[in-house]
Amino acid sequence: MPQVSNLRLGKAPHGTPQSDAGRTVLVPIEKPIYGGSFLARDEGKAVFVPLVLPGEQARVRVVQEKRSFATAELEEVVSESAERVIPKCPHFGPCGGCQYQHAEYETQLRIKQAVLRETLERGGVKPSDEIAIVAGQPWEYRNRIRLAFDAHGNPGYRGRRSHAVVAINECPISAPLLVRAALTAAELLLQSAHGLRPSEMALFCNADETALLVSFFVASGAKVHFDEFAAALQRRIPELAGAELVIEGGQNQQPRMIAQPRVIAQWGDLSLAYRAAGVDYRVDRGAFFQVNRWLVDALVERVTAGYSGPLAWDLFAGVGLFARRLAERFAQVIAVESAPTATDALTANLQGTSGVAVHSSALGFLRSDGTGERPGLVVVDPPRTGLGPDLTTAITEIAPPALVYVSCDPATLARDLRVLLANGYSIDSMTLVDLFPQTFHLETVVRMRIP
């Protein structure tokens, strides 16, 4: 079948445990699970299979056998879903970046909605009867990518179920400028005598692709002519506004301690201006910013709409994406952020508004009793690890009347919601914001209140 052959299915990744592996079975595909695979059963045993769709019959090869489940690779789709499409990217399958390109986009949204609902229910949380969906253009949406280099100097992503680098020559989910700049940088690295041999590079552009920041990561501080290289790259990529060279990883002098990333050279601007939600945000190199350039405005509106009052807190504020909008509607906004890469930009983005930047961890801020005044609204946008028990408990003790939780992991969201609901909060609305089309990742905005 052309749809399957386009996935370039092959052997299990090198190093995959092979206990009773290698056997081939025909299984019906039941439903999606969080992480990108789909559930099948072989004589009652759960089998997790990627690159298939519910309702399909698939011949799969077991690559890992456990007591209670098995993982498998797709060999052949025997009975194909009507919702299957030919993936747009030639690297789909071996590349670990996308999981759902073989499904129509409307099907992807239904899959994510079902995964979110089931994950919350398994976590002991009854989801809203209606989970709204905010979606946009499913291609060329990424404003940030990070690529590794293979042994030949080709840029690529890590493979599916493997750390091997899958070299790419296109990436349909990324802003075209990012791919063009990555391929150009790789070509220049191979041709140049500047002594630069990075292991990875990260690229970030603004929404209209007029400005670009690039970070190159190396394992040691060997002397290189970085200014010359960056200037040469800028001649080929005029949108390049700034570049940096970073030593990342490795051990420091204390045993078992991993050294923090350290900038050893930089060229050009340290930040770029990113137009979003009617504001030009300063975003510094390495600072977090929402990745979907088509949906940033819609996300800000979903998080902040309808709220106003004397005081709001924005925890995990980043560069102030939500705080800046809240500052138009609240007499005072406290924006809390601990990441050094974001705090300077956060302060700059709140200048001339009712917002105040606080350089602190969210838990440290709450334990210091914040400002002493209970906020009318708290917005939280934690990393994938979620809030955790200490921070969730601290919020329930303060008991802000309104709480908006922006989550990028449904499992940790369920864990934290269970505590919040047990302490008097109720869910007003739940929205799946599809910031990551073609992948299993999903963003959820939960608006909550307490009497």
Its pTM stands at 0.92
What are the domain boundaries of the chain? Answer: 2-95, 144-274, 292-449
Q: How far apart are CA 359 and CA 291, in angstroms?
A: 23
Alpha helices in 87-244 (DSSP H): 105-122, 176-191, 226-236
**Separation in Å, CA 390 to CA 363, 379, 396, 397, 420:** 8, 17, 10, 11, 12
Token code pair at residue 344: 């300077």
244, 266 Cβ separation under 8 angstroms: yes
The dihedrals phi and psi of 66, each to the nearest 5 degrees, come to: -115, 170
pLDDT at 283: 98
Token code pair at residue 37: 């695979």
pLDDT at 249: 66
Type of residue numbered 157: Y
CATH class of 144-274: mainly beta
For residue 426, give the DSSP letter. E
Q: How far apart are CA 13 and CA 94, in angstroms?
A: 9
Residue carrying structure tokens 């879903």: 81
Residue carrying structure tokens 């864990």: 415
Give the other-Cβ count within 10 Å of 260's Cβ: 10
69-93 b/e (C-beta count within 10 Å ≥ 16 → b): ebbbbbbebeebbebbeebbbebbb
305, 285 Cβ separation under 8 angstroms: no
Nearest to 284 by CA among 300, 296, 273, 295: 273
pLDDT at 4: 42
List the Cα angle 194/199/204 in 5-degree steps.
Answer: 90
The alpha carbon torsion through 235, 284, 347, 367 (nearest 10 deg) reads: 180
Per-position pLDDT tens, the chain of length 451: 333 434 444 444 443 444 566 899 999 999 999 999 999 999 999 999 999 999 999 999 999 999 999 999 999 999 999 999 999 999 999 999 999 999 999 999 999 999 999 999 999 999 999 999 999 999 999 999 999 999 999 999 999 988 899 999 999 999 999 999 999 999 999 997 767 899 999 999 999 999 999 999 998 877 788 999 999 999 999 999 999 999 986 544 454 555 678 999 999 999 999 999 999 999 999 999 999 999 999 999 999 999 999 999 999 999 999 999 999 999 999 999 999 999 999 999 999 999 999 999 999 999 886 557 899 999 999 999 999 999 999 999 999 999 999 999 999 999 999 999 999 999 999 999 999 999 999 999 999 999 7
Residues 6 or more apart in contact with residue 376 via CB below 8 angstroms: 307, 309, 310, 311, 312, 330, 400, 401, 402
Nearest to 133 by CA among 339, 299, 1: 299
314, 292 Cβ separation under 8 angstroms: no
- Helix, strand counts (H, E) of the chain: 10, 22
Residues 6 or more apart in contact with residue 425 via CB below 8 angstroms: 396, 403, 448, 449, 450
CATH class of 2-95: mainly beta
Token code pair at residue 30: 């039941």
Give the other-Cβ count within 10 Å of 111's Cβ: 23
146, 201 Cβ separation under 8 angstroms: yes
168, 175 Cβ separation under 8 angstroms: no
**Separation in Å, CA 347 to CA 117, 318, 359, 365:** 37, 10, 9, 17
Q: Do domains 2-95 and 144-274 have the same CATH topology?
A: yes
pLDDT at 234: 98
Q: How far apart are CA 362 and CA 376, in angstroms?
A: 17
pLDDT at 274: 98
pLDDT at 20: 61
pLDDT at 14: 40
Residue carrying structure tokens 């925890």: 315
H or E stretch including 348? helix 340-349
The dihedrals phi and psi of 254, each to the nearest 5 degrees, come to: -90, 130
Altogether, the residues listed in the chain come to a count of 451
Alpha-carbon radius of gyration of the chain: 23
For residue 51, give the DSSP letter. S
pLDDT at 13: 42
Type of residue numbered 108: Q
Q: Give just the sign of the alpha carbon dihedral 83, 410, 283, 219.
A: negative
Classify domain 292-449 by CATH number.
3.40.50.150
DSSP letters for 220-246: S-----HHHHHHHHHHH-TTEEEEEEE
